[in-house]
Structure 1
Amino acid sequence: MNPKATLKGRGAQLNVPNRFFELSHEIRDDFLEFCHKEGEASDKNKTLYLPVFPKTIVNKVESPDVGMLYSMNAYQGCEHGCIYCYARNSHEYWGYSAGLDFERRILVKKDAPKLLENLLKKKSWKAYPIVMSGNTDCYQPAEKEFEITRQCLEVFLKYKHPVSIITKNALILRDLDLLKALTADGLISVNVSITSLSEETRRVLEPRTATTKRRLETVKILSNNNIPVDVMLAPIIPSINSHEILPLAKAVSEHGALSIAHTIVRLNGAIGQIFTDWINKTMPDKADKVLHQIESCHGGTLNDSRYKTRMRGEGKIAEQINNLVKLARHKYFKDKAMPKLNCDLHESFKDGQLKLF
């Protein structure tokens, strides 16, 4: 791999134009030359935390192939900087770029715990698992400062409501006390994303995430505390991590994971341009090969929005990947399964304490 990428600790290496804006701006060579002569940085590469105040926090998921009905996101944008992240496009709705802005302009919803509690107290609300991080990681670096995710878990525990978490950050272990309390009533499941066993690959794909070693340790610690863990081998990218499916599955099974899930990478909207720019800078020797193989999984294009097909792909390469995952499940997860979350307790705890009558 070639460390030609110019912005250290970032996935995207540019800000692509926002499709909703008529105007856009670009950094010209003469400006870069001026900065060079003056000894100034053309880009300070700083992360900003920006408060926002939504009226609701839980979203109903309409997509039929996502595997969740309700999700919530304490943060919009994600400092982890995963280059392939499907959530990048959503940042455009907030008026930012799907590129560097997604990693450096983090929108913080401090009212999330209160909004969640208001929802769970409603008489009309019927318990159903809510997924934290349906869009962006609830344990990204911002959580160290704001602790919004922890406050939300306290609300779920208070009202005995089922919740599922998706993360690739070992910071989740900070809240082990709450996770254990939720587990006692069957109210929690955790999905840890692990994309590669190679630190070199992890570093360029997901620059500000926990190391692979730390994530495997997280799976083990959670599992040792009887907290059900699924590992998401997602996304599988041809010729980057597709050869790791079996060793990845073996490793996570040995660390206590009860199941695995996967998707094949798709580069919708602005992500295609961001990923293409990135791979030409970081892996120039294999860029064309990887891009063409991704296209071969999606009908000849990087952009695939077809329900049912978009997650699993089509064609020979996609078929090989999907068959390897089937083999991995049979080989390493034959007698394992994730438990169903408990939706029966919440009604008796509608006001935050057990109703006796």
Structure 2
Amino acid sequence: MNRRNFLTLTGTFTGGALLLPDFLHAFGSQRSLVIGEPCLVFIQLNGGNDGLNTYIPYDNPLYYELRTKIAISKDNVIGKNKGMAFHPALKNFADMQQNGDLSILQNVGYPEPNRSHFRSQEIWQTASNSNQYLSEGWLGRYLDLQCKEHQPTAGVNLDSIDNLALKGNEPNFVTVKDPNRFKIRNDKDDMIKLSDNPQLDFVRKIANSVTEGSEEIQHALAKSTSEMSYPKTNLGKNLEWIARLIKGNLNSKIYYTSQNGYDTHDNQLGIHQRNLEELNDAVFSFYSDLKKVDLLQNVTVVVFSEFGRRVKDNGNGTDHGTAAPMFIIGGNNKGKIIGNNPNLSDLDQGDLKYEIDFRSIYGRLLQQKMNFNPQTIGINSKPIDGLF
């Protein structure tokens, strides 16, 4: 039996957390010992999250000069660290960072930024250049090469619509709105029959994939429970489902979900506060749940948005901008703040200049967490250092 099969089998018998004899812990701390299958969990903040009011340069006078209406008072920010601090709604993000479980990557973006929601999301989801159009997502291309045979739940998208990031040549992912109700009638005889029509065969292949995915998801749910209370929000429910599937040994490589509402052109202070509170509470419940069952080391959570907002406010809100922070939680990250504080005196047409290409983060995630060469799917940016 090889190591991979051994770890999968033992994970099944122990609910995903392999129990080790005490003497093995002498070879290293439990934190640095990763057992079982790693996975990536993506939380996409739709609408363009205002990074400057999320992770705040409270010690820079220009922040208050340029944002006379929506700046967050330095008396209210939390987790102060080298001139930067969290929005007060993100109190548990500050705790996770203090615990060494959350890394912050500053000024993340890409060359020739696009301020269209649709196009910028497409660039992030395909890892393309600004002037390049791809029909497969970066995670879909990864799954096409990583899955030696068809795996219907190699990726799970918790949403009501498919996500381009997971789209590949093979249907190696399923989109589920409510996993508990994701039960498909299994008419295998109709699905197995092939025809002379390739398009029809492909549709049948997808249908068969959905059926298989439904069965695997129900098996995982049957082996897991919710061991703590999650917030009754869409994001909270989605992260609770993801935690259940991870604890039930679905062994998906990728989980994807999103939170809407970040297009804050007007009434930003109240809207942004509510969105960040929802994000904070849902993510911290997920984090606490996985930590309780010793699975946080296997799970890397990535929180990002398609772009940030402009540096100067428009009165009651902010318009579309460019670079913004990105957050990495769990997965034995180093808990660092990577990158320089936002330079508010050197702007590009009123926007922050990006310093970290998001594809360099993708590259490190694939290389370090998935043991996969990112160049094989066209991600050629040098993987960022210092994250894991």
Q: Could you tell me the TM-score, scaled by structure 2's length?
A: 0.27
Question: Larger relative contact order (C-alpha < 8 A, sep ≥ 6)?
Answer: 2
